[in-house]
Amino acid sequence: MNATMRRVGGVASRGLAAAALGWLGYAALTWKRYGKGARPRRTDTLLDRYMPISEIAEQHEVEVAAPPAITYETLRAMDPLDSPLVRAIFRGRELLLGADHATNEGRHGIVDQTLAVGWRILVEEPGREIVVGAVTKPWEPNVTFRGLSPDEFSRFDEPDYVKIVWTLGVEGVAPEKSRAWTETRVMTTDAVARRRFRRYWAVFSPGILAIRRAGLHRVRVDAEQRFQRERAAIAVLEAITGDAAKSPLTRRETLSAARVSTRQADAPTPARHQPATSAQGRPGGPQ
Distance (Å) of CA 244 to CA 232, 233, 234: 18, 16, 13
**How large is the angle between the packed helices 84-97 and 191-241, nearest 10 degrees?**
160
Judged by DSSP in three states, 215 sits in helix
What is the average per-residue pLDDT within 23-37? 64
Lowest mean pLDDT among 87-101, 111-125, 224-238, 245-259: 245-259
Element containing residue 70 per DSSP (H, E): helix 68-77
For residue 14, the model assigns a pLDDT of 54
Task: Tell me the C-alpha distance between 55 and 27, whole Å.
Answer: 16
Highest mean pLDDT among 160-169, 201-210, 257-266: 160-169
Closest CA to 180 of 280, 61, 35, 46: 61
CB 284 within 8 A of CB 114: yes
Residue 170 buriedness (CB in 10 A; 0-12 / 13-18 / 19+): buried
- pLDDT tens sequence across 239-285: 777 654 455 445 455 556 555 555 555 555 544 443 333 444 454 45
Rounded mean pLDDT, 222-238: 87
The beta strand positions in 79-147, using DSSP E, are 120-125, 129-136, 145-146
pTM equals: 0.75
DSSP state for residue 162 in the 8-state scheme? E
Q: Which residue ranges make up each domain of the chain?
A: 29-217
Q: Above 80 in pLDDT, residue 41?
A: no
In a 13 Å sphere around the CA of 127, the CA atoms on its Cβ side amount to: 4
Under the banding of pLDDT at 50, 70 and 90, the label for residue 110 is: very high
Instruction: Decide which of 1.10.287, 3.30.530, 3.40.630, 1.20.120 is the CATH code for 29-217.
Output: 3.30.530
Alpha carbon distance 241, 228 (integer Å): 20
| Percentage of residues of the chain with pLDDT beyond 70 | 69
Give the DSSP letter of residue 37.
Answer: P
131-166 burial code (b ≥16 CB/10 A, e <16): bbbbbbbbbeeebebbbbeeeebbebeeeebbbbbb
Give just the sign of the alpha carbon dihedral 267, 271, 273, 279.
Answer: positive
